[in-house]
Homo-oligomer: A and B are copies of this chain.
Amino acid sequence: MARSDTVPAASCENLEGNLGWGLGVLSRALADAGRAATADVPGGPRGFQVLFTAADGRIGTQLAVARKLGIDRTVMTYLLDDLERAGLLQRSPDPNDRRARRLTVTPAGLQLLADLEKRMSAVEDELLGELDEHERRSFRESVRRVAVRLDAGDRAIQCQLAGQPDAAPTPP
């Protein structure tokens, strides 16, 4: 009764081996450190990501940016209001589809963004400090590949995962 009653028949030996726990810890740490590093940015870490995505230019409209970042479109409105009011970004009607708004980062926004990228990069390296350079590169690359597939790749996968947890894994 010393142990056999407290140790469950777990497929995973301990909590630390649980991916959900690990990603939770990592995400919280990144969010906390990110909030501190983006204290001067409206919207915090999310404001930074919006600036970053808008500056990239390939994702032009505000709805596309919102989808890419997992931000609700109604939340996006307030976020952009704040960023625009701070003079970091501008909305303008898309000439091809006048319903949509194109996002343009102002010179002030680009300048802040360059600084933010340095800060966030430092934060990330600090968080991943446990890993050596090779492991770090490998880790970043894995995250990138997994995320790209989850994001653009197959939305079908997410639907499958969300809809039928016990269903057969091989649909035609």
Which A residues lie at the B interface, using CB under 8 A? 6-12, 14-30, 32-37, 39, 45, 49, 52-53, 55-59, 68-70, 105, 110, 113-114, 117-124, 126-131, 135, 138-140, 142-151, 153, 157-158, 160-163, 165-166, 169
Within 8 Å CB of A144, what residues of B?
16-17, 22
The chain B residue with its CB closest to the CB of A164 is: B36
Distance A49 CA – B52 CA, assembled complex (angstroms) = 34
Within 8 Å CB of A19, what residues of B?
30, 124, 140, 143
Asked if A22 and B146 sit within 8 Å, CB to CB, the answer is yes
Min CB distance A41 to B, Å, is 12
Choose from B34, B69, B147, B161 the contact partner of A26 (Cβ within 8 Å): B147
Asked if A56 and B15 sit within 8 Å, CB to CB, the answer is yes
| Identical subunits present | 2
Can you show 14 pairs from A to B with CB atoms below 8 A apart? A6-B57, A8-B56, A10-B56, A12-B121, A16-B148, A18-B49, A19-B30, A19-B143, A29-B158, A35-B162, A36-B161, A37-B165, A138-B138, A139-B146
The chain B residue with its CB closest to the CB of A115 is: B166
Distance A163 CA – B10 CA, assembled complex (angstroms) = 39
Within 8 Å CB of A117, what residues of B?
10-12
Asked if A131 and B143 sit within 8 Å, CB to CB, the answer is no
